[in-house]
Amino acid sequence: MSKKNISADDQIAVILKAIDELKGVDIQILDLREIENTVCDYFIICSGTSNTHVNAISGSIQKQVGKLVKEKPWHVEGEGLAEWILIDYVNIVVHVFQKRIREYYDIESLWGDAKITQIA
């Protein structure tokens, strides 16, 4: 796959595979395309069980997207504490949380108008 030919669906599939390989849990895709004035088209949200796990999931996503999609994130935040790592691919923003931080910020409810897909 080259970046020129990659669709959002294909990039999402790569991200989901990277999360799944590292046993990320409670994976959701928020489709924001029908909401006005959003910062991106999709949020992908998942949880890890510890700082180490959150960092590993984030690393896996960045490695797989870089390898298969040939794209580096525009911006990454939160790798120091690894409680909430945000990986910004412009149209797709990935949030990797520790469970308690995810529950505290509850960003899914902030985007209640979004179409939410739960990934088993």
**Confidence at residue 6, expressed as pLDDT on a 0 to 100 scale:** 81
CATH number for the domain formed by residue range(s) 3-119: 3.30.460.10
For the chain, percent of residues with pLDDT exceeding 90: 90
pTM of the model: 0.93
Domain boundaries, the chain: 3-119
Mean pLDDT throughout 48-71? 97
Rounded to the nearest integer, the mean pLDDT of the chain is 94
Mean pLDDT of 59-84: 96
* Mean pLDDT value across residues 29-48: 96
The total of other beta-carbon atoms located within 10 Å of residue 41's CB is 17
Q: What is the DSSP string of 73-106?
A: -SEEE-TTT-SEEEEE-SSEEEEEEEHHHHHHH-
Query: Which pLDDT score is estimated for 3?
Result: 47
* Identity of the residue numbered 13: A
**pLDDT at residue number 120:** 84
Q: What token pair was written down for 76?
A: 């990454």
Structure confidence at residue 58 (pLDDT):
98
DSSP string for 6-66: --HHHHHHHHHHHHHHTT-EEEEEEE-TTSTT-S-SEEEEEEESSHHHHHHHHHHHHHHII
pLDDT at 9 over 70: yes
Query: What would the mean pLDDT of 62-70 be, rounded to a whole number?
Result: 96
Name the residue with tokens 């939160």.
78
Residue 4 predicted with pLDDT over 60: no
What is the average per-residue pLDDT within 54-79?
Answer: 97
